Structure formats: C-alpha cells, structure tokens
Amino acid sequence: MSLTYIKGDVLYPLGRGNKIIAHICNNSGAWGGGFTKNLTLRWYKPKVVFNNKFIFELGTVDFVQVEQDIEVANMIAQVFNTRDPPIRYGALKKALKQVAKQAKEKQATVHMPKIGTGLARGSWAVILTIIRQTLVKSGINVYVYH
C-alpha cells in the first residue's frame, strides 16, 4: 500500500485500529541498547519475552501484545560483537515477511523507527528496499518515525 514518514515517537503510534511496532533485536540475548531502552521504559513486557528466549535464531519474530490494539514485533536480525555491520539483511527480510503475515491477519498497520540504521549500522537504502518488498508489496501501510 504505502510507506509514510512521520515526525514523532513510534512508541505512541498514530492512527486507528491495530498496530504493530517492529524493531530489530540481536541474536545474543543482550537487551538495552538503542531503541530497546525507550521501548522498555514504555512497556516492559517485550523485554521479558526476549529475556525468556532460549534460542535467538536469526529471522525469527516474537509478537508481544502491549495494549489492546498494539503489538511489538521483536525481530532477530542483528548479530552481536562483530567488526562488520551487525545487521543481517536476509534475517531482516525473513522477519519482515512474518510481520507482514501478522499484519494481514490482524488488519494492522506497521510502525517502526528507521530500523537497522543505529547500532546495527545498516544501509537505509537497502533496508527500505526490503521493507517495500515484504510489507508494502503485501498491501501493508507502513509508518517510519524519525
């Protein structure tokens, strides 16, 4: 459908209906850097779900209901302690396909910060292409907050 940039805070997603807030986590079990700091201040449950994982397989997603109409998608698409950029584009694509499926089932919009461009040191141009291939082409409205 569409991709829209919004100036604002993704932790207070705009619009009516069901919403999924998608963000990237690493595969080491470490939580608390980048976006997750603010996410935990708003809702603690995504951290609890992440901390209770035993396997952090790249490309997997945990969906965590934080409000009646808001889910958080913890997407494992980043490795830990590497000299190369930690983002793993293949894992991100796999995870976003799952987010697209969930969004269709819940008739939800997807909201996100500029995922993968902070601590993951990814290229926004590459990430944007993946978002368009997985979410927008699937008919999902996507909102990127900055």
Pick the CATH number of 3-145 from 3.30.1490.190, 3.40.50.620, 3.40.220.10, 3.40.50.10800: 3.40.220.10
pLDDT at 41 over 90: yes
Instruction: Provide mean pLDDT across the span 63-82.
Output: 94
Q: How far, in Å, CA of 28 to CA of 89, rounded?
A: 17
pTM beyond 0.85, yes or no:
yes
Average pLDDT, the chain: 95
**DSSP code per residue over 55-108:** ---TT-EEEEEEETTEEEEEEEEE-SS-SS-SB-HHHHHHHHHHHHHHHHHHTE
3-state secondary structure of 53: coil
Domain ranges of the chain: 3-145
Q: How far, in Å, CA of 111 to CA of 70, rounded?
A: 10
Q: How far, in Å, CA of 40 to CA of 81, rounded?
A: 22
Instruction: Provide mean pLDDT across the span 12-28.
Output: 96
- pLDDT for residue 20: 98
Q: Using one digit for the tens of pLDDT, what is the confidence trace for 79-133? A: 987 788 999 999 999 999 999 999 999 999 999 999 999 988 999 999 999 999 9
Q: How far, in Å, CA of 77 to CA of 62, rounded?
A: 12
